Structure 1
Amino acid sequence: MYVTEIEPRVSETDGAGHINNTTIPVWLEAGRHELFRLFTPDLSFEDWKMVIVKTTLEYKKQIYFGEKVEVKMWIKRIGNSSLELYEEIHQKGMLCAKNEAIYVNFNLHTQQTESIPEKIKAELEEHLWPERE
């Protein structure tokens, strides 16, 4: 599991007093930083590999300013050129949002998917989702 801690900002709080729902996908992306570095070590957009093709976000509880959140990410499935993520956002030990996302390993120069290298697959397997749902 990859874990990223985020401190909510005042600007992310909406008129209803909770973190705006449009902020959650941004936080989930922040939790993918190590994944991006795995596929593109120098994080160069010229050689960027990770392209998102699907995301399914479910809001479970409101999130508030003033308390840190944890973004947790697991690898749910590894395919030939794609991978599926399972992600959660927790605040005060409670599950507040969960998401599934599918990424493909994509070559921007050829505009085609590429197989995920075995070395990267081995690293991803260290973070497999324990299927506890």
Structure 2
Amino acid sequence: MFETVIEPRVCETDGVGHINNTTIPIWFESGRQGIFRIFNPDLSFKDWRCVIIKMNVEYIAQLYYGQPVKIRTWISRIGNSSFEVYEEMEQEGQICAKGNSTYVNFNRHTQRSESISAPIKNKLQEHFYEEPKEKG
């Protein structure tokens, strides 16, 4: 799991005083930086590999300015050339948003997806999401 803390800015609030819904996907992307480093350690765009093809956000509770927001990011599936991310956003101990996104390992020079190498798959596996087991 990767963990990132965001300090909300005033400009990210909306007219009713909570964090604007358009900000949440941007914050989730901030939480994926550790994943991007697995594919491209120096984060150079010259050989950028991670191309997002799908994203879903579930808004559960409002987020507010003035309190830090914790983003937890996991890998939920690893395929041949793609992988899925599961992420949660928490403020003051409450999960306020959940998300899923799908990325493809993409070679921008050939304009084609490519298989994810075994070493990268192994590193991704270190951050794999395990569903919480039900009590009882």
TM-score range, shorter chain: over 0.9
What does residue 25 of structure 2 align with? 25
What does residue 78 of structure 1 align with? 78
- Identity rate of aligned residues, in percent? 58
Q: Secondary structure at the match of 1:26?
A: helix
What does residue 96 of structure 2 align with? 96
Q: Secondary structure at the match of 1:123?
A: helix
Distance in 1 of aligned mates of 2:7 and 2:56? 23
What does residue 44 of structure 1 align with? 44
Q: Structure 2: give runs of 5+ residues left out of the alignment.
A: none
What does residue 121 of structure 1 align with? 121
Instruction: Report how far residue 130 of structure 1 moved.
Output: 0.8
Please give the root-mean-square deviation of Cα atoms over the aligned residues, in Å. Answer: 0.9
Instruction: Report how far residue 43 of structure 1 moved.
Output: 1.2
Distance in 1 of aligned mates of 2:45 and 2:124? 22
Distance in 2 of aligned mates of 1:7 and 1:126? 27
What does residue 105 of structure 2 align with? 105
Instruction: Report how far residue 53 of structure 1 moved.
Output: 0.4
Instruction: Report how far residue 62 of structure 1 moved.
Output: 0.1
Instruction: Report how far residue 86 of structure 1 moved.
Output: 0.4
| Number of aligned positions between the proteins | 133
Structure 1 moving runs of 4+ over 6 Å: none
Q: Secondary structure at the match of 1:17?
A: coil
TM-score normalised according to structure 1 size: 0.97
